[in-house]
């Protein structure tokens, strides 16, 4: 497939925003049971603001993928059968939930403001955050299933697609949370960095599993199945076009096999190896620049990873339209 950078930025930016919010809520939950030091409201307010900025950035980038942006609202009308429609609905819900979560932290409200007394610190934000967490995982599911549900693109049609979207988003969010905590809550740096490393390693295992799986795929379609002829001597002489067309541009990446292999190894290094190394150095040397660099490098790697994800999918139509006689 031909990777569209608007979709690449959409999926990577919202993944960071979702992961950062999950990191914030995890830290608050641990603080309630006194496993982590409690933080002031500003930590959650600014963390929520950053998360929303990433999510809105992803939403804006998606507009550039539309031929008619004024009709974008129609994308939500097929929610009964389309994972894309569900994503279009859930994404604003996630943005709203995180915005409300941060706003309530800014106001300092809890349930006693509404006549309910509890002994739990931050009871209202915990409830609101729990809804946000559910919506966030629903968004990961919708985004991943947009691709995993396409059965004829065998490289995508696997549960690993949803798992990888989720783990890579959460990993990048926790890595950003580590850098954010270095400035606002130094006592949380080791906690976030530790989880960022663990989740990044888990993401490496599942992403490597998908690469191994895809390398062993046996195509279900062939020239014989395309035209219903069993003869083994079928040879294509022409793709039907003297010049390019939508079919030749939008369903094939157009780069060499060497370039594909180079990008694969590039993202494996940038997404997994270097960030884990930088995070480890950052917490051992108490180096904030290292922690920031870990996120920057990992995000650049995610752009390459998502490009490779789209480019690796081999559309059956390429049996005909990518062969020149």
Q: Count structural domains, the chain.
A: 1
**Residue 229, in any domain of the structure:** no
296: containing domain: 5-217+245-321
Residue spans of alpha helices (H) in the chain:
5-32, 41-63, 83-107, 123-148, 159-184, 189-215, 223-227, 246-250, 257-268, 274-285, 288-312, 318-321
Q: From CA 107, how far away is CA 44, in angstroms rounded?
A: 12
Print pLDDT tens along the chain (325 aa): 778 899 999 999 999 999 999 999 999 999 999 899 989 999 999 999 999 999 999 999 988 877 777 777 788 888 899 999 999 999 999 999 999 999 999 999 998 888 788 878 888 999 999 999 999 999 999 999 999 999 988 999 999 999 999 999 999 999 999 999 999 999 999 999 999 999 999 999 999 999 999 999 887 777 777 777 777 777 776 666 666 677 777 777 878 889 999 999 999 999 999 999 999 999 999 999 999 999 999 999 999 999 999 999 888 777 777 655 4
What is the spatial distance between Cα 123 and Cα 118, in angstroms, rounded to a whole number?
7
Task: Provide DSSP, 143-187.
Answer: HHHHHHT-TTSTTT-SHHHHHHHHHHHHHHHHHHHHHHHHHH-GG
- Inside any domain, residue 200: yes
- Within a domain: 238: no
- For the whole model, what pTM was predicted? 0.92
**CATH assignment of the domain containing 278:** 1.20.1630.10
* Residue 184 contacts residue 194 (beta carbons within 8 Å): no
Q: Residue 234: inside a domain, yes or no?
A: no
The whole-number pLDDT of residue 322 equals 63
Q: Is residue 305 part of a domain?
A: yes
CB contact burial 286-301 (16+ within 10 A = b; e otherwise): eebebbbbbbebbbbb
């Amino acid at each position: 497939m031909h990777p569209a950078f608007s979709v690449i930025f959409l999926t990577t930016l919202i993944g960071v925003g979702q992961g950062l919010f999950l990191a914030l809520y995890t830290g608050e939950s641990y603080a309630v049971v006194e496993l982590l030091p409690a933080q002031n409201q500003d930590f959650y307010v600014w963390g929520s603001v950053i998360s929303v900025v990433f999510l809105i950035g992803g939403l804006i980038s998606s507009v550039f993928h539309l031929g008619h942006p004024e009709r974008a609202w129609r994308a939500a009308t097929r929610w009964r059968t389309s994972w894309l429609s569900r994503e279009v609905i859930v994404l604003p819900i996630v943005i709203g939930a995180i915005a409300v979560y941060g706003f309530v932290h800014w106001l300092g409200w809890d349930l006693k403001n509404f006549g309910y007394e509890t002994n739990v610190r931050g009871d209202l934000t915990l409830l609101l955050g729990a809804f946000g967490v559910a919506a966030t995982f629903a968004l990961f599911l919708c985004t991943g299933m947009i691709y995993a549900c396409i059965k004829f693109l065998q490289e995508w049609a696997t549960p690993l697609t949803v798992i990888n979207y989720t783990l890579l988003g959460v990993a990048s969010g926790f890595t950003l949370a580590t850098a954010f905590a270095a400035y606002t809550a130094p006592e949380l740096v080791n906690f976030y960095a530790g989880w960022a490393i663990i989740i990044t390693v888990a993401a490496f295992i599942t992403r490597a599993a998908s690469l191994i799986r895809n390398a062993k795929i046996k195509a279900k379609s062939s020239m014989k199945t395309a035209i219903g002829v069993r003869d083994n001597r079928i040879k294509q002489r022409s793709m039907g076009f003297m010049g390019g067309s939508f079919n030749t541009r939008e369903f094939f990446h157009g780069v060499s096999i060497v370039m594909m292999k180079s990008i694969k190894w590039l993202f494996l290094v940038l997404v997994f190896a270097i960030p884990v190394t930088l995070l480890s150095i950052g917490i051992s040397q108490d180096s904030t620049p290292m922690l920031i660099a870990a996120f920057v490098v990992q995000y650049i790697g995610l752009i390459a990873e998502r490009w490779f994800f789209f480019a690796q999918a081999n559309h059956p139509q390429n049996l005909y339209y990518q062969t020149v006689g």
